[in-house]
Amino acid sequence: MPFDVEDLARASLVRILPRSRYRLAAQTDARFQSFAGNTTRIAYRQQGATPAFLLFSGPGQNPHAAAMAAATWAEANWRPNAIQRRVRPGVVVVHVAPGNQLTQPGTVEGAGVPASIWTVDSDTGRVGVAGTPPGSPSAGDVKRAAADLLKGATVPSLGELDLAERNVMQVRTVGVPRIVGGAVSLCLILVALRFGLGGVVSLFALPGAIASGNMAAVGSLAVSVLILAGIILGIGVLLNIGNLAFRVPGFSSPVSQTRNLAWGAYVAVMVGLVLAQGAMPGVQNPANVGAGQTQYVHVTATTSDDGSETFVNTGGDLTVDLSGWPSTEWPGVQFKTSNPSVLSLDVLPGSDGSPVAKFTAHQAGVSRVDAASADGRYTFQLRVYVGAAP
């Protein structure tokens, strides 16, 4: 059913206020009288590097004039200071009216700071979004509010709107001693380095594993990539990068119990992925080099394995024995590894001249072992997938 600008403003702001840290301003606020006459609701966020206005205009009001005046005020008042060295204000005006009275959505040319006009057809619920100035809220909240109202959803009361604003000031964390915070941060950095680097390597190796058809390799690399994604999500929410702490469902809930459940689920999933990564080499039994060596701790490859692939547990070793080549080719055989951080060459051919080398697996990822005789007539290549020991 049709709705008006006040209905949409309440339905949108009850979502936006706690997530994007906006506050409400009265229409009589002396600071904003230059554009209050062309708005029905004024919301603003003045902390941080991206302070912003979110204004709602209705039929008969001029959203362009409201955007220009708000941008002028923002340019004059939201400026860098000793604490906030860089400030990028923004203005969004949401124009709500029947389709034949709507202005065109788009950026406002000539405004003192980046400003845009979004439109909402109060009869059809159609939302026009053009431009996302700094600090602007998610357009999805406005779209969901319009869709819900069109379906006959109840308009949030003023009390619900007041409660949403109160949640903006809710204390979300409890202070901890500096030494504890430093220890936790150090642990997070070590975990990110341990699993994050392996995830980056796995991300690049995954297409090759998929092409090879080795599902054990695909599974192991996919788990590493998921761990990397989880680490990025966790850091993004903890540090509130891109306002993620107030956008990601569950983590952004104003209810502390919901946030605790979200973090609990996150930790459980991450622990499960780490355990899966460790168990992956042991539960798979691919028909490749090392089959029968179920633990993949001590793996041996010979000349018959040229061009194939194998698994090695992290901390395990790989022995490449090329004594199957003619003995005349043994002297001067060169061994190389393409990724020493994953698989390093530790033992070169012995004094007896036999072309046997030993490699040690250090971290999850993929590497390639190459070998060639001195005259180049004989070559050997083996792809090695390294995974955490079960």
CATH number at residue 313: 2.60.40.2020
Residues 131-182: tens digit of each pLDDT? 899 989 989 899 999 999 998 889 988 888 888 777 655 544 444 455 655 6
Are both 272 and 328 inside the same structural domain?
no
In a domain, 291, yes or no: no
Considering the domain architecture, whether residues 307 and 206 belong to the same structural domain is answered as no
Residue 94 lies in a domain: yes
Residues 256 and 378 in one domain: no
What whole-number distance in Å separates Cα of residue 386 and Cα of residue 202?
10
pLDDT at 295 over 80: no
129 in the same domain as 204: no
Give the integer Cα–Cα distance in Å for 137 and 114.
14
Question: Which of 234, 254, 283 is the last residue in one of the domains?
Answer: 283
Say yes or no to pLDDT of 87 above 50. yes
pLDDT digits (tens, 9 = 90+) for 181-199: 566 567 767 777 777 777 7
- 321 and 220 both lie in a single domain: no
Boundary of a domain, candidates 283, 314, 345: 283
| CA atoms of 329 and 339, how far apart (whole Å) | 26
Confidence of residue 290 (pLDDT cuts 50, 70, 90): very low
How sure is the predictor about 61, in pLDDT bands with cuts at 50, 70 and 90?
A: very high
Q: Is residue 289 part of a domain?
A: no
211 neighbors 374 (Cβ within 8 angstroms):
no
> Taking the alpha carbons of 9, 106, 47, 236 in that order, is the dihedral positive or negative?
positive
Q: Would you say residue 249 lies in a domain?
A: yes
* Domain extent at residue 311: 298-387
Taking residues 198-207, what's their average pLDDT? Answer: 75
Q: Is residue 382 part of a domain?
A: yes
Query: Which of 283, 306, 337 marks a domain boundary?
Result: 283
Looking at the structure, tell me whether residues 96 and 245 fall in a common domain.
Answer: no
d(CA 116, CA 64): 9
For 46-60, 210-224, 281-295, which range has the lowest pLDDT when averaged over its residues? 281-295
Q: How confident is the model at residue 242 (pLDDT cuts 50, 70, 90)?
A: low
Do the beta carbons of residue 76 and residue 116 sit within 8 Å? no
| pLDDT confidence of residue 200 | 77
Look at the block and give the residue holding tokens 């340019």.
75
Alpha helices by DSSP H, listed for 173-309, are 178-212, 215-238, 256-283
Residue 173 within a domain: no
Query: Contact, 308 vs 293, CB < 8 A?
Result: no
Find the range with the poorest average confidence among 60-69, 127-136, 230-239: 230-239
Between strands 106-107 and 90-97, the pairing is unpaired
Tell me if 105 is assigned to some domain: yes
- pTM of the entire structure? 0.49
- Together in a domain, 199 and 329: no
